[in-house]
Structure 1
Amino acid sequence: MLVRIVKLTFKKENIASFERIFAETQQKIQDFKGCSLLELYQDINDPAIFFTYSHWEDTKYLDDYRQSDLFKETWSKTKILFDAKPEAWSISKKNMVN
């Protein structure tokens, strides 16, 4: 499993627009083949900073999504709202037991 974390920083006046876009697309993205989870988090100290957290079966499915019309349409609406360049990490989950 691949975990994808994306940090998004918005202009304060665009926060509501982003939240609306996310609400409209969250289920569609989560239903995309290979995606089993999509969550949204907001920084408690800076409400303009959000993180998306998603689970993908593997890199192929994430890449397929990033090439899809759904991604292109969603990203074109979202990127104009940014106040800073997004940052993204693809990581693997490690279960460590003491």
Structure 2
Amino acid sequence: MIVRIVCMSFDEAHIDTFLRLFDSYKEQIRSFDGCLHLELLQQESTPSVFFTYSHWRDEAALENYRQSELFRKVWGETKKYFNRQPQAWSLKRHHCLP
């Protein structure tokens, strides 16, 4: 399983626009083949910073999503509102204690 974390920062004027955008696509992203989990997190101390936290079956499933028309649409719209370069990490889970 791959854990994907993406950090995005927006101008405050675009936070609501981004939230509406995410809300309109979240079900399609979550139901994409290989996506096992999807969360949107907002930094409490800096409300203009958001993280997506997702689980993918494997690297191939994540790459299929990143090459999909859905990703091109979502990312193409989202990146218009960034106020700095996003950061992303693909991580392999070693331990999880519920």
* Structure 1: runs of 5+ lacking an equivalent: none
Which runs of no fewer than 5 residues in structure 2 stay unpaired? none
Q: Distance in 1 between matches of 2:55 and 2:73?
A: 21
Q: Please identify runs of 4+ aligned residues in structure 1 that moved more than 3 A.
A: none
Corresponding residue number in structure 1 for 2:16: 16
Distance 1:81 1:15 in 2: 8
2:20 partner SS: helix
Coordinate RMSD, CA, aligned: 1.1
Partner of 1:71: 71
Instruction: Tell me what 1:60 maps to.
Output: 60
Task: State the alpha-carbon separation in 2 of the partners of residues 43 and 4 from structure 1.
Answer: 17
1:83-94 mapped onto 2 (5 Å cutoff): 83-94=83-94
Q: String of CA shifts for 1:2-55, please: whole Å, max 9, x gaps.
A: 000000000110000000011011110010000011100000000000000000
Whole-angstrom CA distance in 2 between matches of 1:96 and 1:71: 28
1:81 Cα deviation from its structure 2 partner: 0.3
SS at match of 1:20: helix
Letter of the aligned partner of 1:23 in structure 2? Answer: D
Report how many aligned residue pairs link the two structures.
97
Corresponding residue SS for 1:3: strand
Cα distance change on mapping 1:27 and 1:81 into 2, 3 Å: same
TM-score, normalising length from structure 2?
0.96
Give 1:96 shift. 6.8
